[in-house]
Structure 1
Amino acid sequence: NKSKGYKNLLENSDAVIIITNSATTNLQNTHRLYSELKQKVEISNIYIFANFQDKEQTAIEKEKIEEIFGEKTIALSAVKPESKEVLMNVIEQISNTAISGKKFLAFVSYATADSEFFEISKIAKKLKKHSRIDDILYWEEALKDDIYDYMNNNLESCDILLLFCSKNAKNSEPVQMEWKTALKIKKPIIPIFQTEDTIPPLLSTKLGVQFKKYDIDATIEQIYKLILKKLDLT
């Protein structure tokens, strides 16, 4: 498949599982597919599942298949009940590896009038020093965009929303749109507040972080730990 969507799907995948049987003819076709994938996209984790229910004389042993592909090969027989458990164990391993190595994007929602008080740029810069964070997106860092375009282009691709709550934020139309949109598309939200009465009522039950201006580093660390907890990355 030469479509851009197919390529994007592969590039955004944590792993690719290729299932083949162990017959020579099938392995040749599978290897062609494998070579095409490797040329088109960079995939860090590829798993070969070789089905050994074949009765053919041309069936190739697991070790030889590993040599041909240069990838870890899992041998199984589709007709045997225990093969399901083998497959599920590998999928669980892939999932755990993906989660442990995943980097995430955070979108910062705040009133520009609060930028200095909350030290938004400092918080973003310090959070980005953590290896698990890919980027912290906030509008003032990308002033070339209209704020609504920035929201539209970035909010959906982020993993979590950091909402800085204040009286200014309550009166800010963009901030209101950001957290309501995040809520609608089921993005995790962390309210960051100085006083609890500034948290929107709809978000009052969500775990948040109290902003301590006199101890900004402790606040940043609390935000980071809560991000990991909300995203199940602890």
Structure 2
Amino acid sequence: MGVGGCLALPWRCLVVLCLRLLFLVPAGVPVRSGDATFPKAMDNVTVRQGESATLRCTVDDRVTRVAWLNRSTILYAGNDKWSIDNRVVILSNTKTQYSIKIHNVDVYDEGPYTCSVQTDNHPKTSRVHLIVQVPPQIVNISSDITVNEGSSVTLMCLAFGRPEPTVTWRHLSGKGQGFVSEDEYLEITGITREQSGEYECSAVNDVAVPDVRKVKVTVN
């Protein structure tokens, strides 16, 4: 990156400078991804929100320097911690493995992580993608409601989760559970007394048990 690029994007120059100092790479030597087997990071890592994620990178005795990065941020360089996040800790730095752990993972931790190594004066990299799953949670739902027969009713059930949950409405009548709709909004036009009772909203994304809430509809 030239001087003009540094003036336009000084933070990018700082990152490049840090990496060049870290691996003692002369200016003009490109960072290359290594061969298919070295260094070798894990496949994509999937964890639930609040759990711990372990990121491992397989190395060998050719390695002289190692680092873990999250996007352009250096987390660890060898045994030296660069990250100010106390949730990030080093697990191992041996001749065969370089691994870190992130405790209490949150959605903003999701994304690419890079294992960067120095060997034979050539930097090489391997990348792993961290995926954070979030159990389904109903964050807003209609209150119980009383209406006159023949009125139009709209029930709302908003849910959050990763992957995005599927929201389903069911009518819990005396005749059993009847499927009504697979949508956040349930619209009933010209409601009848037979359609009174409890309506159950269920949010499902297979990460954890469904989140279920109920709304009571009274028809006069």
More RCO (CA 8 Å, sep 6+)? 2
Structure with higher helix content: 1
Could you say which TM-score interval applies, normalised by the shorter chain?
A: under 0.3
Q: Which has the higher strand share?
A: 2
